[in-house]
Structure 1
Amino acid sequence: MGKDGARRWWAITRDAVRLWLACDAFTYAGALAFYTLFSLAPVVIIAVSVIGLVLGEQAAQGQIVAQLQDLMGREAAVAVEQAVARSRIQESGILPTLLGVSALLIGATTVFGQMQLSLNAIWGVAARPSRSSVFLFVKNRLLSLTVVLAIGFVLLVSLLAVALLFCAIFKVLPDVVLRWRDVVVGALVTASLFSIGRYAIAVYLTHTATASTYGAAGSVVLILLWVYYSSLILLFGAAFTKTQMLARGGAVVPSDTAVLVRRQLLVDAPAGMRAAAARGV
């Protein structure tokens, strides 16, 4: 790579950091951590059920919990395992089972609705109000479910599979028209950062007094912190994907169900607009 290439990638990285900060990534990461806390057990249950068809349910759960222990630490992994045990469908009969499965699916995919909002903020788009909102809701939930299933396999496989998962997330979840080649580089960068960062985060959480500081809630705090830091990496990867696509001459094209959003600082807005904002109009 020559000097021109190095300068180009430096400029892309610099712009990605600026976009990441400008889009309030820390707030969105906090929201993702909150929603993940309630979605994690359903996600693991569905992943175990699917992978269990191949490996056997006990083996699948053991593998996934072991991976979670490596990533989050023992206390957090035990908390997830206990939540999974409590969340399993125990009722018999068709109606209770259907209700239980529906609750699991909604719980597992809720976090991906928030993830879609976060990625839309990075891309500068917003969902368009539509009469077919129920159809779009179902469609987005089905797309989210495919990501849920993919996550189960990612917990068992290599860096390449992690990169493929990020490719799918960056391609499918935002309300933006993207080609696969638009997201490949960003997905590889994100997968690399995630693979390095997740173990660094695990080491940090394991060797600090976070769990003991919060007493009985320590394991919950560990999960929140791990997801929070991981979400920051995900959102930076989305910002990098956008900036490198724009650097190649691409343009942000919202999907049919979305519109572009123009961000404007209030201090730069006309006086009348600032007055209206102050009145809450």
Structure 2
Amino acid sequence: MVWRNLIDECKTLGEAWVRYECASLAAGVSFYAALSIFPLMLVLVAAVGSFFRFMERGQNAVEEIHLTIAQQLSPQAADSFTDVFEQIQTRALFNGPLAGLMLLFAATLVFFQIDRAFYRIWDLRQRVGDLGIWGALRRMLVSRVRSLGLVMGTCFLVVVVFVSGLAFRAVMSMAQEWFPEVSILSPLVASLISVVINLGVFSFLYKFLSKEWVSWLVCLKAGVVAAVLLECGGWVLGALSFGSNFSAYGLIGSFLVVLLWIYYSVMVLLIGALIVRTGTRPLVDFRARI
């Protein structure tokens, strides 16, 4: 019975994926994400710039981030990130308000497109023509504020991930002094922590972006699936980026790896959104509308 229900849910999920053209939606969101990723990185780094500056462990973490990017993407990408970080670290507290507003506006583009994708999945249309000029401006402003809230939430997540990473490395370092065999379990524990963090992020996004009331149980169910898929995809894409297929092209190859990762991440996000969508309404009613 359990397997049959699981197969039925997978069939319904596949039908919903085809109906809403989620692959095309993910490609569209990825395009805007490519335009927003560097402004978003600037905003995120600027938000935690003072946190890195005034903490000794933060300075060590910058070196670890440089090493991680060099291993995952390329040394050129790591050098570029370090250059940008140094510039923002010296100017994060003194940049003009206009530059900050422009960065925030560019960073919200990707979240605005994700919100539009959720409208499509929930069979809702943004009827701008019936609202008039002021109504359309008000709706656009509300959407931007929601997107800005997601950006601020992402900034908070960056701080949480950074602090949890420091705590994890400190605990593992102390444990290895007493039990050297613990180092074997370090990658597994790191993956579990990543899954738990992603579970919370996905569950919050599904609860916040869904266009109807949804229960936290359905959001957690979709969050588990999305978090596991994202972690598994991270291992696969990480293995691909270690090869010479992308590193031979320098920064362009690194950007291609980033685009591939964004596209896969958006598809995982939409898969979870479909799970929430099909889990909220009865499956029979959903199939009848197809």
Unaligned 5+ residue runs, structure 2?
A: 165-192
Where in structure 1 do 4 or more consecutive aligned residues deviate above 6 Å?
89-94, 248-251
CA RMSD of aligned residues (A): 3.6
* Match in the other structure for 1:111: 110
Percent of aligned pairs with the same residue? 21
The question of whether the paired residues in 1 share the 8 Å contact of 2:108 and 2:144 is answered with no
1:11, distance to aligned residue in structure 2 (A): 1.3
The question of whether the paired residues in 2 share the 8 Å contact of 1:190 and 1:237 is answered with yes
1:103, distance to aligned residue in structure 2 (A): 1.6
Equivalent of 1:140 in 143, 146, 158: 146
1:164, distance to aligned residue in structure 2 (A): 0.7
Change (3 A) 1:186 1:146: same
* Match in the other structure for 2:123: 124
1:187 aligned to 2:223?
yes
The question of whether the paired residues in 2 share the 8 Å contact of 1:147 and 1:169 is answered with no
For this pair of structures, how many residues does the alignment match?
248
Post-superposition Cα deviations, 1:150-184, rounded to whole Å, max 9, x if no partner, equal 44246545221211100111111243333323311
Q: Between Structure 1 and Structure 2, which shows a larger proportion of helix residues?
A: 2
* Match in the other structure for 2:213: 177
Measure the CA separation in 2 of the matches of 1:49 and 1:92: 5
- Amino acid of the residue matched to residue 121 of structure 2? I
Measure the CA separation in 2 of the matches of 1:36 and 1:69: 22
Post-superposition Cα deviations, 1:182-227, rounded to whole Å, max 9, x if no partner, equal 3110011101111111121121232251343x56622221211121
- Amino acid of the residue matched to residue 9 of structure 1? L
Change (3 A) 1:92 1:18: closer
Q: State the SS of the aligned residue for 1:44.
A: helix
* Match in the other structure for 1:101: 100
* Match in the other structure for 1:229: 264
1:245 aligned to 2:280?
yes
1:149 aligned to 2:149?
no
Equivalent of 2:198 in 140, 152, 162: 162
Unaligned 5+ residue runs, structure 1?
A: 252-262, 265-281
Change (3 A) 1:51 1:174: same
- Amino acid of the residue matched to residue 43 of structure 1? L
* Match in the other structure for 1:219: 254
- Amino acid of the residue matched to residue 201 of structure 2? L
* Match in the other structure for 1:12: 9
Measure the CA separation in 1 of the matches of 2:76 and 2:117: 25
Measure the CA separation in 2 of the matches of 1:236 and 1:92: 37
TM-score (norm 2): 0.70
Measure the CA separation in 2 of the matches of 1:43 and 1:245: 32
Post-superposition Cα deviations, 1:123-152, rounded to whole Å, max 9, x if no partner, equal 222334341225413422332223422442
1:59, distance to aligned residue in structure 2 (A): 4.7
The question of whether the paired residues in 2 share the 8 Å contact of 1:194 and 1:233 is answered with yes
Measure the CA separation in 1 of the matches of 2:70 and 2:276: 30
The question of whether the paired residues in 2 share the 8 Å contact of 1:108 and 1:148 is answered with no
Measure the CA separation in 2 of the matches of 1:47 and 1:207: 29
Deviation larger for 221-230 or 30-39: 30-39
1:17, distance to aligned residue in structure 2 (A): 2.4
Deviation larger for 102-111 or 82-91: 82-91
TM-score (norm 1): 0.72
Measure the CA separation in 2 of the matches of 1:250 and 1:161: 34
Measure the CA separation in 1 of the matches of 2:119 and 2:62: 33
Change (3 A) 1:91 1:208: closer
